[in-house]
Structure 1
Amino acid sequence: MSQPLRFALNRMVAPRLPLPEFIKLAAALKADAIELRNDLAGVEIEDGTPPQQVRQLCAARGIQVLSINALYPFDVWNDERRTQALKLAAYARDCGARGLVMCPLNDRADSRDAAERNAGLRLALSELAPILREHGILGFIEPLGFAECALRRKRKALEAIRACGGLDVFRLVHDTFHHHLAGEQEFFPELTGLVHISGVEEREVPLANIRDGHRVLVGKGDILGNRTQIETLLARGYSGYLSFEPFADSVHGLADIRQALGASIDHLKHALA
């Protein structure tokens, strides 16, 4: 490894921790960036915390806000989505975030065929691009590897970005969980703006049945190939953040999340040395 790893904490690491304590946790781990979420009750953004307060708290600790996570489902464009996008873009701008994570529809009841899904994706990106430009932020597109997801692979997202002329404002999220789940082999480091990392250690559950609740911190028992994925991205020029995003209740209930995160960071540093 020719460069030091850059770690960040997604709010999902400790969803019940008060924001000042979450920022303090990041600083203690020398992770100088965080991601906030708009889907967690009882904490920012849902609790009404002003974006200016977020900016001040982060600045005091030298922490950058990477993203607000997430606009969903960004690829089903309508008046409601426009209103949601404008609100989140303004919050991202005002709290100092680099961008807005955008997740596609993930619903088994989605009756659209492939052509309709692709048209919806391109329409959404065409509508979102000027909003992002106006607010001075990026749009981080995160394909989800679940079989029912409308956008599973990064190649399809990249094609839509190019088609709508959005290379200036759109970036890809490489999520190691979703990359593995989708059976994806392609990497696009030149357009990757953010990497989400989590591990899965459950070996008895079929791959098709693995869900967010199986996602833990990356350790020796990981079956997702985090090491290989990260090595490939770094070798091909990615120099951005690796943001921890575990969803498992077992992680959220840890008595010492700082120690657990520190152990995962040490594991990755050793594995990628």
Structure 2
Amino acid sequence: MNRRLVVYIISDSIGETGEQVVKAAISQFVCKDCEIRRFPYISDEDQIVEIMNEAANENSLIVFTMVVPALRKILIEKAQQHDIISIDIMTPIVDSLQKVLGDIPKNEPGLIRKLDEKYFKKIEAIEFAVKYDDGKDPRGLNKADVVLVGISRTSKTPLSMYLAHKNIKVANVPLVPEVPIPEELFKVASKKIIGLTTNPIKLNEIRQERLKALGLRNEANYASMDRILKELDYAESLMKRLACPIIDVSNKAIEESANIILEILKQNV
């Protein structure tokens, strides 16, 4: 006899895990009249009592993912009182992990959702950094959490990507004397702009290595000291106009420069 079945998914988080497990189990049966009802974010005894009173009037099954011990205990007790079968999905796994890891569970609802949100924010920040790298689209400057400006080889792109992994949306603008600065840059608040500068001798070495990697001659204007000094002077005067903080990246690792930027952003919140 194929009786109507109502499966109640009860969770102190979103309840998605319980529902997916139930759907997978039900697929093993020819259940022509099965209904799944999900009750997320259950946080007190009154809610549990109300659900149990409803379930008691039907051919029901309780499946729950409750990580808060007090709520879990109440739910099990109420299910027993109504003679309803209840299945605890999380506790056996959590208990086993506790034994193997020798650690105490946090018993905090919704942690996986928080982790997922953090992951997607990171991906969004990385995509933003790629889209608005090297001044590709000045329309992104207003949307950025921080805008990096500096001449070529001052670590703008590596810093943008490093900060993106910290969920910071970064746009960067290369400063070249012959190329006009996008007007959008002057509409960005000074506290959101970071200027990057470097030692000319160090930069000369970096640019010469860059030319070698590209199979070009060291004598190219790009790596000449006169050209570098001209670019640095231009960048410094522009940064003064923007009234933005300036970081000398000459002898700093990417992580070190990024931490300085993060500290500046924190102070400006």
TM-score norm. by structure 2 comes to 0.26
- The structure showing larger relative contact order (alpha-carbon pairs under 8 Å, at least 6 residues apart) is 1
TM-score norm. by structure 1 comes to 0.26
Larger radius of gyration: 2
